Amino acid sequence: MNKRREMIYGGVAVMLSAAILTAGCSTRPAEKSDQIRTTQPVETAQISQNSIAKSLESQAKQLKTLDPKQPLDDLKPLNDMIGNANYVGLGEATHGSSEIFMMKHRLVKYLVTELGFTNFGIEEDWGNGLKLNEYIQTGKGDPREFLKLLYPTDEIVAMVEWMREYNSDPVNKKKIQFVGLDLKMLDQSVFDKVINYVKEHHPDLLPEVEQSYKELSSVAGNLQEYMKLTTEVKEKHMANAQKVVKLLEDKTKVE
C-alpha cells in the first residue's frame, strides 16, 4: 500500500436522534378539526421514527463479540465502508467505558492486520505520545504511566501492549506509529529528543538550537503557567521554536 493510512482516535461521537412532536392540550371539548390538528403530528412523528429504525436495521451489521482476542471476521463489512480512505476516525461517547474501549481494540487490530493502517493518533498529549511510540517500538517505559491523564484503563493499556507485540514481530515489516494529537505541556524530554538528534546528525547547529530552547523549555512544562505570559514573551518563544524548525528544514533541503 503506497499511501499512508491513519487511524484518528478522539472523543467524538455521532448521535442519531428522532424528533418527537407533541400536541397541545385544551380544556374545552375538541372539535373534529382540532382532533385532526392534534393527532396528525403524533402520527407523523411515529412514521418518522419507524423510518429511522428501518433505515438503521437495513444498514447495521451485527457484531459477534467485543473481545479483541476473538476472530475478527465479523468486522469484514468495514472493508466496503472504508474503501480507499487513508484516514479512519474512531469516536467514543466516554473516555472510560470498558465495552467501547474493547471494541476500539478490535477495530484497531482489524485496521492494522487486514487493511494496512499503520499510524495511530489519539487525543493524548504530544509528549506522552512520543513516549508511547517509543514503548511500542522498543518496549521502553510503562504505558500505564503515560496514559494516566486521559486513558488510565486496562483496556487501552491492553491495546497499546498489543501494538508493542505486533511491532516486535519481525514478520510485520510495517510498524505501527503512535501519535499524541493534543498539546497540554512539553516536558524537558521533548526538547531533549530534538537536541539529541541535532547532536548526532547536525552538531554544527547545536549551539543555536540549545540557545533557542534554553528559555522555552523552562516554561513549556505547564500550559496554565505558559498562558499567563505576556504576548511579547510568547512571541519571543514562538520565534525561537520556529528558528529551530527552519534550521533543520534548511539542512534537509541541502541534503
Q: Residue 202: is it exposed, middle or buried by C-beta count within 10 angstroms (0-12/13-18/19+)?
A: middle
H/E element, 36 = helix 32-59
Domains of the chain plus CATH, in order, are 6-11+62-182 (3.30.1870.10), 188-254 (1.20.1440.30)
pLDDT at residue 34, as a whole number: 45
Rounded to an integer, what distance in angstroms lies between the CA atom of residue 137 and that of residue 141? Answer: 11
Judge whether residue 18 has pLDDT over 60: no
Helices 154-168 and 126-138, packing angle to 10 deg: 50
pTM listed for this prediction: 0.73
> What is the rounded average pLDDT for all residues in the chain?
83
Contact 193, 184 (CB under 8 A): no
User: How many C-beta atoms lie closer than 10 Å to residue 159's C-beta?
Assistant: 24
Task: State pLDDT tens for residues 136-146.
Answer: 999 999 999 88
pLDDT, tens digit, 9 for 90 and up, residues 37-76: 445 555 666 667 788 888 888 888 889 999 999 999 999 9
Give the residue-averaged pLDDT of 161-180: 96
Q: What is the mean pLDDT of residues 219-238?
A: 90
Residue of 95 and 115 predicted with greater confidence: 115
**Spatial contact of 131 and 107, defined as CB atoms under 8 Å apart:** no
pLDDT at position 16 over 70: no
